[in-house]
Amino acid sequence: MKLGIVGLPNVGKSTLFNSLTKAGAEAANYPFCTIDPNVGVVEVPDFRLKLLGDFYQSKKITPAVIEFVDIAGLVKGASKGEGLGNQFLAAIREVDAIVHVVRCFEDDNVIHVDGSIDPLRDIEVIELELILADLDVLTRRIAKTTRSAMNDKDAKKELAVLKKLEAVLNEGKQAKTYEPESDDEAAFIDSLQLLTEKPVIYAANVSEDDLADDGASNPNVEKVRAFAKGEGSEVFVICASLEEELAELDEEEKKEFLADLGLSSSGLDKLIAASYRLLGLMSFLTAGEKETRAWTIKSGTKAPGAAGKIHSDFERGFIRAEVVNYQDLLNAGSYAAAKDKGLVRIEGKEYVMQDGDVVLFRFNV
C-alpha cells in the first residue's frame, strides 16, 4: 500500500512524515522545505505475527508494510506551476490513497501560508489544484484520443468517457463522484490515475490538549469531520509534534507515554486503521519455522488471488488452500492438533479469504 501525504505549507506534513517513518525529512517553519518527495516505508503493526512467530519459533517475522510519500506543500496555482509546481502532483498519481493533513491548531510561532486557520478553505485550495491537474491530463488525453477515435471503436468509447469526466471536473466536482456504467469503464478510469479519483484520509492536526477527547471540543476538527462525512472520506485526529516525540521511544515507553495521556493508540495506528477501512483491505498470514508473514489483500479476494500475492506461480497453478483461523491454531497447540479437531479446512478456488486466516497454498506448475 502506498499513501501520499499532501497539504498546504506549514500544516505539519513533514513533521507527521518524520514521526511515521523516522526518515528524517527536513521540517522547518517555512514553505517548500521539502524539495523532493520523501519516501519512507512503515511496518504495519500486527500482534498476531509475534504470537504465530513464537508458536512456530520462526527464524524470521515479516510484517506488511505501507509506503508513505511526503509531497512538498502545495499552494494555490500549483497545477499551473505556482510554488514548486505540479511536479509534486505527478508524484502522487501512483499512490493508492491521499492523506490530506489539515491544520486545526493555533500557534503564533508557526505561520500559516494564508495568515489564518481555516481547514475548509485549506481543503478547498488543495482539492481545486487536484481538479485542475486532472483537467490538464484529460485535455491532453482527449486531444490524442480524438484523432484515433475516427477509425477505432474502442478509442471512440474511451473518448466518450473522457468527455464525461471532463464535464464532471469542470463543474468543480471530483472524478470519484462519477459512477462508471460498466466494469470496463471503471478499469479505464483507474488506468488514468486521476488524483481526484483517489480515496482521501484527512489528518486533522491538533494541539496535544485536543487529543484526550479525540478533537471533539475543537470546532475546526468538527468542520473537517462533517466535510469528510459528506464525501465518504476517513478522518483521524493527530498531534504531529507529539507523534514525533513518540517516534523516539521504544515500544514499552510508548505505551506508558500514551497511557499517561489517556490514549489507547498512536497516530500511526489510527492512520493504518483508517487506510485499511477506506481501501477495503485485510491481512492473511503464512506461518512456519522459516518465516511468519502478513500479506495485505483487498477484502473479498478469493484464494487464488491471495496466493498470487506470494508468487504468480501460486495463482497460476493453484490446487487448494489449507486454511485455519490464527486463534484456533494457537488454541489447538499445534497444526497437527488443529487438523485432528477439524479446524484446518480444505478450500478451493471460490473461497473468499478472511482476515486472520493462516494459509498453506498447494499448487502445481
Task: Indicate the pLDDT class of residue 245, thresholds 50, 70 and 90.
Answer: confident
Res 307: pLDDT: 97
pLDDT in tens, 297-319: 999 999 999 999 999 999 999 99
Give dist(CA 71, CA 17) in Å, integer.
10
Give the Cα separation of 339 and 42 in Å (integer). Answer: 35
**What is the spatial order of strands in the sheet that 345-347 belongs to?**
61-62, 292-298, 281-286, 357-363, 318-325, 345-347
Per-residue pLDDT at 34: 44
Confidence of residue 73 (pLDDT cuts 50, 70, 90): low
Calculate the alpha carbon distances from 183 to 32, 155, 365 in Å.
40, 17, 30
What is the per-residue pLDDT across 195-224, written as a single tens digit (0 to 9) for each?
999 999 999 999 888 888 888 999 999 999
Task: State the cell numbers at 327.
Answer: 486463534
pLDDT of residue 263: 86
Angle at alpha carbon of residue 74, lines to 232 and 124, rounded to 5°: 40
Q: Which helix (H) or strand (E) holds 88?
A: helix 87-91
Q: Which three cell numbers stand for residue 45?
A: 503493526
Task: Output the pLDDT for position 88.
Answer: 58
Low-confidence winner among 16-20, 26-30, 183-187, 232-236 (lowest mean pLDDT): 26-30
pTM of the full predicted structure? 0.82
What is the per-residue DSSP string for 241-292?
HHHHHHTTS-HHHHHHHHHHTT-SS-HHHHHHHHHHHHHTEEEEEE-SSS-E
**pLDDT category, 20, cuts 50, 70, 90?**
confident
